[in-house]
Amino acid sequence: MTIDRTQNEREGVAYTGTPSEQELHDSGGYATQERQERGPVAFIECVECIPCNPCESACPYHAITVGPDITALPQLDGEKCIGCGLCIAVCPGLAIYVKSKHHSETHTTISFPYEYVPLPSKGDTVNLTDRNGDVVCQGRVLNVFTSRRNDRTAVVQAEFDKRYCSEVVSMKLPRSDERERGR
């Protein structure tokens, strides 16, 4: 799949290092809005055609396909995806996360890969960021999964105000002085 980067010559991976909204939606890694409303679902922010396919192998529901051309972009079938998150930690590009838009009446959850130390702890208040690393809002860590299967990539699950659902993709690393104070 080829992504049209002529939409805005100053946006996108080739120019900023961050995928544009258009690149993300054209990549095939997003479920429809209708599907997002129904429950947890994966988001794949992979817009570079590189040889990679562990997400396809990790999905027991066959919701992610790369196909025989290992450099093809992963395609998400939102109707098959149940948001289990098994794909999150296996992505070497840390490009997959799972959101549940309606965790509660007021909050959304996100589960994302995290490869830094120290790990956050359940109950911590953290700064959640957009894909540029800019802080969007605060959230609360619900869980930190450190399964041996994840090969040292933790998966952090956090909840946050659902008004920011479309913006949040990860969390900001605490500064060293914050880590020393115990967050």
Summarised one tens digit per residue, pLDDT across range 74-108 is 999 999 999 999 999 999 999 999 999 989 999 99
The alpha-carbon radius of gyration of the chain (Å, integer) is 16
Token pair belonging to 77 = 């079938």
Query: In this predicted model, what pLDDT tens digit does every residue of 34-79 receive, in sequence order?
Result: 999 999 999 999 998 999 999 999 999 999 999 999 999 999 999 9
Structural domain boundaries of the chain? 1-101, 106-183
Angle at 158 between CA 45 and CA 176, to 5 degrees: 90
* Highest CATH level, class, for 1-101: alpha beta
Q: Is 13 helix (H, G, I), strand (E, B) or coil?
A: helix
CATH 3.30.70 at 106-183, yes or no? no
Token pair belonging to 30 = 């997003």
**Which amino acid, residue 130?**
D
pTM above 0.85, yes or no: yes
* C-beta of residue 26 within 8 angstroms of C-beta of residue 12: no
Q: Residue 40: which of 4, 95, 88 has the closest Cα?
A: 88
